[in-house]
Structure 1
Amino acid sequence: MELSYLSVFLNEEAAMNMILRHALPLLEMDVLKTFVAIAETGNFTTAAEAVYRTPSAVSMQIKKLEETLGCTLFLRDARSVSLTPKGELLLGFARRLLSLNNETVSRFLLPDMNGVVRVGAPEDVGERILPDVLKRFAETYPNVTVDVSIGMSNAMRKRVDEHRLDIAIYNSLSDEASKDGEILMQEKLVWAGAKCGNAHLRDPLPVSMWEDGCVWRADAVEKLSRAGRKFRVAFLSAYTTGQRAAVRAGLAIAPLPRYLVQGEMVQLGERDGLPDLGHYDIGLKVVEDAPAPVLAVAEHVREAFAELQLHTGRMAEAV
């Protein structure tokens, strides 16, 4: 009798394994790409633009995906879309599947590239974007070495002209980035001060600056001079970490990208007697007659900034 029960159990287990092997549906890459776009933007309309589909087509894709998986993936309200716990779980799998798909297709369809690509960027861009770019690029092109240099934006652009760099990612005053390359993204430049600090009330105004040639410094000096506000350079550093340290210590204020003003720093503005700094552009410059590995790195940079724009747009909508 026990043997009979064991036999039935084994037969049922074998039948279940056969069902799992043959009956489970396959997830479509296009649908997963749409799902990830919605998760990252928090908006069906924005995601539809990113995947070049109509909002109704995107809604149908998600409806079909939810029916396939037997669960609700998104919670929808009038302003935004958020992931359910099941949606959060799927997001991790979806990103891995899309990455593996891209790597697999690239290995077969793209040339087996190798060589060295020299990339230059300012510190803030290097810290914010390059880690993700390097990781993804290495997964697709493991035989290409990317040599990264960190420095002032103007110096990076000049080194591309001199063929000492293949790619430069740089900060530029608005309307100037397109003259020497292509615009990847626009950022807001603001005044940063210490929480509960009073540096912005002093006269002359103590300012933490970069060396000559920094577009943030040039914009800040021009705006302060135009407003007739007396200032002095109280702290000088070539790195944003140094600028932020001076601000957090209450020694000075500094012109910084808005996304860097967090933690022990606060954003200051016209209500504090300071001129508006406006925006600056992040640009991309590629050496002339660039070979395939250089073009591939440049495309990864573009994709990273496109994703960053979607993310920052989602954050702005939430605020």
Structure 2
Amino acid sequence: MLDSQQLRAFVSVADHGSVTRAADAMHLTQSAVSAQIRRLEEQLGCRVFDRTTRSLQLTAQGSVLLSYARSILNLQQQAVARLAAPRHAPATLRLGCSEGFPSEWLFAALAGFRQRRPDVHVEITCGISTVLAKQVRQRSLDLMVGTVCDAGSDTETLWMEPLVWAFSTKALLDPDAPAPLAFLSEPCPFREAALASLAGHGTTNWQVVLTAQGSGALVAAAAAGLAITVLTPSGMPSILRSIPPGSFLPPLPPARFVIQRAEGSAAPKPLAALVDEVREACFRWRGAHAGALDA
């Protein structure tokens, strides 16, 4: 019978692509994680990773095992949660998700978390990250997953991407006319970063033509050729293209995708479990899109 601790170590190493990072995530030593993998391979009679001095990749057998390992661990968590649920009232966690965040993988992770943890009720609020971060500091939210340009000391950076000027793939811009810009309403970190960059580079031939409450309106306006907006590569739909900075628009600063949690949460253990879920899902999503995001 496969040992759950060995499977957890295996899945963590596969997700992080590194024994060192997996050990940090599991709060174990590297030698302990390596021992778990070694014992798993001995039991299975095959290698699950190909190791070199520079990389660690799943073998064909390891790729097959990974899907089974995730299913086994998920079923174990569901069984424990289902049996424990009648004894405890569900803990409620309030999560903020910011506009412009690549939310598909996050929502998928939350759906899986809900299945595995029926003892935890997650309420999700979507909005502008600056507002959500304030609500976290005021403890009206327990956690915020969002995009910022200036990360504070109370945030954990998941990854970084450049901000880009985005416009329609089909429309053309008049180089002599003021650049038409579209932003979310204040206080929006992308808006603040773009306006600061324009001012810092002395760019004056522009005007704001649209202020929206949601990112969907920005994408629609840019796709129609009405305005230029500011996005990240991960948030760029195929109907838009990036405008290289330097011609008539200045470079933009990078964006940080962060986790920010409230201090003194009323449910610290469920909150830690939710943070772990988001972090692991992020590693998996990043691994699947690393080439496109780092290009």
Give the TM-score normalised by the residue count of structure 2: 0.76
Question: Is 1:260 the equivalent of 2:229?
Answer: no
Which of 150, 158, 168 is the aligned partner of 1:185? 158
Summarize the Cα distance change of 1:290–1:72 in structure 2 as closer, same or farther, 3 Å threshold.
closer
- Match of 1:277, SS state, is coil
- Cα offsets for 1:70-99 (capped at 9, x unmatched): 445445677654444433321111111222
Alignment of 1:98-117 (within 5 A): 98-105=73-80, 112-117=88-93
Give the aligned partner of residue 301 of structure 1: 275
Give the aligned partner of residue 94 of structure 1: 69
Give the aligned partner of residue 150 of structure 2: 174
Give the aligned partner of residue 269 of structure 1: 244
When the two chains are superposed, the root-mean-square deviation of aligned CA atoms in Å is 3.7
Give the aligned partner of residue 232 of structure 1: 207
Structure 1: segments with no counterpart, 5+ residues: 1-25
Give the aligned partner of residue 35 of structure 1: 10
- Cα offsets for 1:156-183 (capped at 9, x unmatched): 34445666544444443324x33xx433
Summarize the Cα distance change of 1:32–1:128 in structure 2 as closer, same or farther, 3 Å threshold.
same
Give the aligned partner of residue 187 of structure 2: 213
Question: Is the 1:237–1:243 contact (alpha carbons within 8 Å) kept by the matching residues of 2?
Answer: yes
Deviates most, 134-143 or 219-228: 134-143
Question: Is 1:152 the equivalent of 2:125?
Answer: no
Alignment of 1:12-161 (within 5 A): 26-51=1-26, 52-54=28-30, 61-74=36-49, 80-105=55-80, 112-125=88-101, 127-128=103-104, 130-160=106-136
Large movers: runs of 4+ above 6 Å: 107-111
Displacement of 1:186 in angstroms is 4.2
Question: Is the 1:160–1:285 contact (alpha carbons within 8 Å) kept by the matching residues of 2?
Answer: yes
Question: Is 1:203 the equivalent of 2:191?
Answer: no
Q: Separation in 2 of the partners of 1:196 and 1:124?
A: 22
- Cα offsets for 1:110-146 (capped at 9, x unmatched): 9724254333332344824542443243234424432
Structure 2: segments with no counterpart, 5+ residues: none
Give the aligned partner of residue 217 of structure 2: 242
- Cα offsets for 1:245-271 (capped at 9, x unmatched): 233333332211231125233333335
Question: Is the 1:74–1:82 contact (alpha carbons within 8 Å) kept by the matching residues of 2?
Answer: yes
**Higher gyration radius (CA):** 1
Question: Is the 1:40–1:311 contact (alpha carbons within 8 Å) kept by the matching residues of 2?
Answer: no
Question: Is the 1:184–1:302 contact (alpha carbons within 8 Å) kept by the matching residues of 2?
Answer: no
Give the TM-score normalised by the residue count of structure 1: 0.72
Displacement of 1:222 in angstroms is 0.8
Summarize the Cα distance change of 1:225–1:315 in structure 2 as closer, same or farther, 3 Å threshold.
same
Residue correspondences, number:
288
- Cα offsets for 1:10-42 (capped at 9, x unmatched): xxxxxxxxxxxxxxxx22223222322333234
Question: Is 1:312 the equivalent of 2:272?
Answer: no
Q: Separation in 2 of the partners of 1:39 and 1:306?
A: 11
